[in-house]
Amino acid sequence: MSKKILVTGPDLDPSAVKLAQDYGFETVHTPAYADAAVIADLMKQSGAEAILSRMGRIDASVMDAAPQLRVISKHGVGVDNIDLAAAAARGIPVLMATGANAVSVAEHAIALLLATVKRVLPLDAGLRAGRWEKPGFLGRELAGARLGLLGMGAIAQATGRMAKGLGLEIYGYDPYAKPEVFEALGATRCERLEDLFAQSDVLSLHCPLTNETRGVVNAEAIARMPKGAYVVNTARGGLIDEAALVAAIRSGQLAGAGLDTFAVEPPAADHPFFAEPAIVLTPHIGGVTREAGARVGVEAVRGIIQVIAGEAVAPERIANRALLAGAGKTNLKAGE
C-alpha cells in the first residue's frame, strides 16, 4: 500500500509526482484554496503522512485531525499560511524549497519594474482607445536609479543581478544577511531600514511576512522615500499598508507600483488598486513558471522523503527549526 502526500492544490509538476512515486508515495489533491476544514477532512480520509502546501491555510485544526502527520513541506518559501508554532508543538517540521523559484520570481519583479516605470499598460490602453499620447509624454530612464532590496535572500539576489544589467545601483537591508552577500552583489548595505527607504527610487520587497514585517511599507516609510519613487512587491501582500500605498500614489509621493501579491487573495472586486492605472497588478504568479514549478515541486517532495526516511535536512530549509528546538522536539535530523 502506497504512502500518501496531500497536496493543497489541484496540481503538481509531473517531475515532482514521479519522484514521489519512485519512493512509494501517492499524491492526493485538494481543490484550489480549500479551507482548513476541507484540508482536515482529506487528511483524515487519506491518512496522508505529509502535506505539500500550495494553497490554503494549514492551522492547528488540520494537524489535530491528522495525528499521523509527520512533515509539512512548502511549495516555495513563504510559510505565512502555515502555523509554525502549532507544527513545532506537535513535533512537525515545516520545510521550505529555498531558492528553487528565485530566477522566475526575480524575472517577474523586473517585469513589474519595467512595466510600471515605463508606463506600459496605460500607454497601451490609450493607444487602443485611439489616443496618440506622444505629445506631452515624458518618461524616466532607469539607468543610474537606486534599487532598494528589502531582504537579501535568493530572490532578492537574483533580482539585484538582473537590475545591475539595467544599470541600477543596488542598496539592501537585511540584518540577518552576511556581509559577503552584499559584496558579491556589489550592493550598498543599509544599516537601518529608514536608510533603505530614503535611498530607494524603486523599493523591491523580498522578505517574509512576520509580525515584525507586517505593514512595514506604511505611510511613514513611504514618506521617507524620494518623491516619485516606485514599489514592487513579489513577496507577500501583507508587507504593505494598502490604503497608505493608494494614498501615496494619489498624492504623487509614489509614481506607481507593481504588485504580484495582496493582503487578501484574490482581492475584492472593488479593491481600490483596480482604479489606479499607475499600479500594475498580477495574480501572485511570479514563481509560476514551468521551470520553477519543476524545481520547487521536486525540492518540496524531496524534503518530505528525507524527513520520513529519517535523513538529514539542510538547516536553512527548516522554517520552524528554532521552535522545534524550543519545544524539545529534536528528532529531526539537520544536516550541517
Task: State the catalytic residues.
Answer: 236, 265, 284
SS3 319: coil
- Peptide bond preceding 226: is omega within 30 degrees of 0, i.e. cis? no
- The pairs formed by 195-198 with CB atoms below 8 angstroms and a separation of 24 or more are 196/148, 196/150, 196/171, 196/172, 197/148, 197/221, 197/222, 197/224, 197/225, 198/224, 198/225, 198/226
- As a whole number of angstroms, the longest Cα–Cα distance in the chain is 70
The span from the first CA to the last CA of the chain, in angstroms, equals 34
- Using alpha carbons, select from 55, 46, 56, 66 the residue that is nearest to residue 6: 46
| DSSP E strand stretches across the chain | 3-8, 25-29, 50-53, 71-74, 94-95, 146-150, 169-173, 188-189, 202-205, 229-233, 254-259, 279-281
- Bridge partners, 25 (sequence order): 3
